[in-house]
Amino acid sequence: MAPASLALPPNARSWSLSFRAFQCWLTVYRRIWRSSIWSSVLGPICYIGALGFGLGTLVDKHGTASLGGVSYLAFVAPAILATGAMNTAVAEASYPVFGSLKWNRIYIGAQASPLRPADIFRGHLMFMTMRLAMNCAIVMVVMWAFGAIRSAWVVLAYPAAVLTGLAFAAPVAAWAVTVKIETSFNYIFRFVLIPLMLFSGTFFPISQLPAGLRALAYATPLWHGVALCRAFSLGTAPSDPIGMLGHVAYLSVLAAAGIWAGARTYRRRLYV
């Protein structure tokens, strides 16, 4: 028995191994998608309905020059798309990752197969991306149904929103696999997600913030995601191609960094 006969071509089948891990998540999801789909649909209806129409009626009465002259509904809906992507990403990348180590131990079972830690990570990330794609599509249908879309460029808001989600999912999953106690996740929810959701130009333009805070907002990923989705939904993107590329680059770098880090943190946690 020569060792050579055992050797896998290095990396050649890497994506197919990741895809096997992804299929596991699909099988699990087929059992629970019905319950998850309801919250995915009702969430955006509530947010876009309450903010776009409820709050929007008040805002629109006082003039919307600072919003760029569009209705509050058109202003806030793409931000809800990007924020929803962030929330989906963090929900899928936090407890499910931790649980796969500690609760149902999916990762531990998968580890005994040919899958390597990096395959297990990438397979789970594929599933997170699929969930992002599903939820973002639902939000876009709700936006359309509420008449919140102003431009055909909106089709590009869809990949933009998925990319925004991935820029959160990959780094959060890379970190979540290292978490020892689940209460750590509450810090992320309380001190990262909520401030980001409030101060990233989501519900009011960033120009309303004091200068210092504004600089901080520019540095956060959600602001880039919101700006990107909004520019496509309102159709203002073509007037600022450099800005758009900047947003895409920022989000891509963050996602790539997360994918790079996850392969390492998963290995460090699982292969000990």
Partner 1 sequence: MLGSSGSEVLVRARGLTKKFGSFTAVDGIDFDLYRGEAFGFLGPNGAGKSSTMRMIGCVSPPTSGELAILGADPVRNGPAIRARLGVVPQEDTLDVELTVRENLLVYGRYFGLPRRVIRERTAALLEFVQLADRANSKVDPLSGGLKRRLTIARSLINEPEILILDEPTTGLDPQARHVVWDRLFRLKQRGVTLILTTHYMDEAEQLCDRLVVMDHGRFAAEGSPRDLIARYCSPEVLEVRFDPDVHDAAADKLKDFSAERIEVLADRILLYVADGDAVLAAVRANGLEPLTSLVRRGTLEDVFLRLTGRRLED
Residues at the contact surface with partner 1, assessed by CB under 8 A? 1-3, 6-8, 16-17, 20-21, 23-24, 27-28, 31-32, 104-106, 108-116, 270-272
Closest contact distance (angstroms) between CB of 114 and partner 1 is 4
The rounded distance, in Å, linking the Cα atoms of 198 and 163 is: 20
Asked if 202 contacts 130 with a C-beta cutoff of 8 angstroms, the reply is: no
Give whichever of 105 and 264 is closer to partner 1, judged by the CB atom: 105
Closest contact distance (angstroms) between CB of 26 and partner 1 is 9
Q: How far is residue 121 from each of residues 81, 91, 152, 179, measured CA to CA in Å?
A: 26, 16, 36, 15
Give whichever of 110 and 237 is closer to partner 1, judged by the CB atom: 110
The rounded distance, in Å, linking the Cα atoms of 138 and 36 is: 12
Q: Copy the structure tokens of residue 201.
A: 């130009």
Closest contact distance (angstroms) between CB of 270 and partner 1 is 7
Give whichever of 110 and 143 is closer to partner 1, judged by the CB atom: 110
Give whichever of 54 and 114 is closer to partner 1, judged by the CB atom: 114
Closest contact distance (angstroms) between CB of 128 and partner 1 is 18
Give whichever of 7 and 181 is closer to partner 1, judged by the CB atom: 7
Closest contact distance (angstroms) between CB of 16 and partner 1 is 7
Q: How far is residue 88 from each of residues 85, 91, 203, 224, 238, measured CA to CA in Å?
A: 5, 5, 19, 17, 28
Closest contact distance (angstroms) between CB of 10 and partner 1 is 9
Closest contact distance (angstroms) between CB of 33 and partner 1 is 12
Which of 185, 180, 170 shows the shortest CA–CA distance to 252? 170
Asked if 201 contacts 79 with a C-beta cutoff of 8 angstroms, the reply is: yes
- Alpha helix positions (H), the chain: 3-6, 14-47, 56-61, 72-93, 95-102, 106-111, 117-145, 157-176, 184-187, 194-199, 211-219, 221-234, 241-270
